[in-house]
């Protein structure tokens, strides 16, 4: 997806700024280290940054409030630019140089799929990847926990929106496998509600030609456009509609479009998006308040976002699991504690682990 080389300056900054990773720990170690590799260069760098800031804010808050039984948490994040060879090399580096067997917040579906044989064997543990694939939702993957990357609940929520059910709507998505599968899933949910879009158009991720599908969509005069993509193509689509006079069209995206609101906040565009967490700026639950305070303390120049909040939540779940492990702090023990989080809550957020999908975020979806 992304094709930039690993920058030594960024590598060094990652070691200093994000701290090192999750090692295979034992009770006699005073530091618990987690690992992550992501696209810190290229088109997805904003997302990678939000993911790491959320995790790091939680870890720092935990460390500053006494740690866990005297132990502190660390995170090592390396840049892979979305490139498979760099991803593979980073995983090996994190394993060999940091004695790491557990990873949190990994990015890129294809890259993560390459790890599944080792995950199934229990050699690697993958927590809360920012990716989704049917292969991840496998009860046999007892060393994998899904969370913010699971899109299916969001798609089901979009298909039930009143503004979709009551108006002419269209679907706009990328032509990659992930977006195409998501669009197909959305169509299936809509069909179950006896709803059919007036148009379905895709754009090419390499050429980023938005005008051609945008023009095709406008010919059908949709009142609502559902965007299965990231923020950049969604913004380009909206600008095209506005440039050509379609000011009354509403746009709804998935969680990866969360930056659109800020990018277009002065244009008057009507935009909303689905999310696995409530609005981090306004939610009154204790976890959201803690997240806001931690971000203000540790990363005051960083914007609040649903993505960084999702990973603050993900890291908080890991922290809670470690606390429950007592002296048996191992990857297997941590996963077992997370797997036991059923019909409960953490800081006011509902958790309900589903062994069939390895998903722990619960069933509720927010529209922001």
CB atoms within 10 A of CB 181: 17
Residue 246 resides in a domain: yes
User: Do 71 and 55 share a domain, yes or no?
Assistant: yes
Is there a single domain that holds both residue 107 and residue 191? Answer: no
Evaluate whether 87 touches 108 at the Cβ level (below 8 Å).
Answer: yes
Could you tell me which residues come within 8 angstroms of residue 85 by beta carbon, excluding any fewer than 6 positions away?
Answer: none
Return the SS3 of 42. Answer: coil
Looking up tokens 């975020």 gives 361
pLDDT (0 to 100) of residue 29: 60
Per-residue b/e over 182-213, b at no fewer than 16 CB within 10 Å? bbebbbebbeeeeeebbbbbbbeeeeeebeeb
Q: Name the domain count of the chain.
A: 2
Question: Is 202 part of any domain?
Answer: yes
Residue 78, domain member (yes or no): yes
Burial state string for 2-14 with b = 16 or more CB within 10 A and e = fewer than 16: bebebeeebbeeb
From the number of C-beta atoms within 10 Å of its C-beta (0-12, 13-18, 19+), residue 298 rates as middle
**Residue 136 falls inside a structural domain:** yes
Which structure tokens are listed for 278? 């409530």
Do 17 and 130 belong together in one domain? Answer: yes
User: Is 93 a member of any domain?
Assistant: yes
Three-state SS for 31-82 is EEEEEEEECCCCCCHHHHHHHHHHHHHHHHHHHHCCCECCEEEEEEEEECCC
Buried/exposed 127-162: b ≥16 CB within 10 Å, e otherwise: bbbbbbbeebbbeebbbbbbbbbbbbbbbbbbbebe
**One domain for residues 230 and 326:** no
- Spatial separation of the C-alpha atoms in residues 83 and 34, rounded to whole Å: 21
**Which residue range is the domain that position 206 belongs to?**
152-275
Q: Tell me the two tokens of residue 263.
A: 């990018």
Last residue of a domain, one of 215, 244, 275: 275
For residue 306, being part of any structural domain is answered with yes
What's the predicted TM-score (pTM) here? Answer: 0.89
Instruction: Please return the burial class of 76, using the count of CB atoms within 10 Å of its CB with bins 0-12, 13-18 and 19+.
Output: buried
Percent of the chain with pLDDT over 70: 92
Ranges of residues in the chain with a pLDDT under 50 are 1-28
Give 203's strand partners: 174
- The set of residues, in sequence order, having a beta carbon less than 8 Å from that of 173 and lying 6+ positions away, is 179, 180, 182, 183, 200, 201, 202, 203, 227, 228, 229
Name the domain boundary from 275, 292, 311. Answer: 275
Residue 100: what pLDDT?
80
For residue 287, give both structure tokens.
């976890």
Q: Are residues 43 and 71 in the same domain?
A: yes
Q: Could you give the CA distance from residue 95 to residue 345 in angstroms, rounded to a whole number? A: 33
Nearest to 57 by CA among 340, 276, 296: 296
> What gap in Å lies between CA 112 and CA 37, rounded to an integer?
10
Radius of gyration of the chain (CA): 20
| Cβ 297 vs Cβ 304: under 8 Å | no
Final residue of a domain: which of 275, 293, 309?
A: 275
pLDDT at position 2:
34
Q: What CATH number corresponds to the domain at position 346?
A: 3.40.50.2300
Which pLDDT value is given to residue 28? Answer: 42
Does 3 map to a domain?
Answer: no
State whether 129 and 12 are in the same domain: yes
* 144 and 157 inside one domain: no
């Amino acid at each position: 997806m992304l094709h930039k080389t690993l920058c030594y300056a960024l590598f060094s900054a990652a070691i200093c700024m994000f701290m090192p990773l999750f090692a295979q720990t034992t009770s006699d170690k005073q530091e618990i280290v987690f690992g992550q590799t992501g696209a810190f260069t290229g088109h997805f760098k904003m997302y990678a940054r939000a993911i790491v800031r959320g995790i790091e804010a939680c870890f720092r808050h935990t460390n500053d409030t006494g740690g866990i039984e005297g132990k502190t948490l660390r995170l090592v994040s390396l840049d892979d630019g979305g490139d498979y060879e760099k991803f593979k090399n980073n995983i090996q580096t994190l394993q060999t140089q940091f004695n790491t067997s557990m990873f949190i917040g990994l990015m890129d579906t294809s890259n993560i799929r390459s790890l599944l044989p080792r995950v199934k064997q229990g050699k690697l543990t993958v927590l809360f990847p920012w990716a989704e694939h049917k292969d991840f939702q496998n009860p046999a993957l007892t060393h994998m926990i899904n969370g913010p990357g699971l899109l299916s609940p969001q798609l089901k929520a979009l298909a039930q929106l009143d503004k979709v059910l009551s108006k002419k709507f269209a679907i706009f998505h990328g032509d990659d496998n992930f977006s195409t599968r998501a669009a197909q899933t959305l169509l299936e949910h809509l069909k179950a509600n006896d709803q059919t879009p007036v148009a379905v158009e895709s754009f090419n991720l390499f050429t980023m030609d938005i005008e051609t599908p945008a023009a095709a969509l406008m010919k059908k005069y949709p009142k609502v456009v559902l965007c299965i993509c990231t923020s950049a193509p969604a913004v380009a689509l909206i600008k095209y509609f506005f440039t050509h006079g379609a000011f009354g069209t509403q746009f709804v995206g998935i969680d990866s479009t969360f930056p659109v609101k800020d990018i277009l906040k002065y244009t008057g565009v009507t935009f909303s998006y689905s999310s696995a967490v409530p609005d981090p700026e306004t939610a009154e639950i204790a976890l959201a308040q803690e997240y806001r305070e931690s971000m203000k303390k540790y990363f005051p120049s960083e914007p609040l976002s649903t993505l960084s909040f999702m990973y603050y939540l993900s890291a908080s779940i890991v922290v809670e699991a470690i606390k429950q492990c007592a002296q048996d702090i191992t990857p297997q023990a941590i996963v077992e504690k997370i797997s036991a989080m059923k019909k409960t809550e953490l800081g006011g957020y509902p958790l309900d682990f589903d062994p069939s999908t390895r998903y722990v975020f619960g069933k509720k979806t927010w529209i922001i």
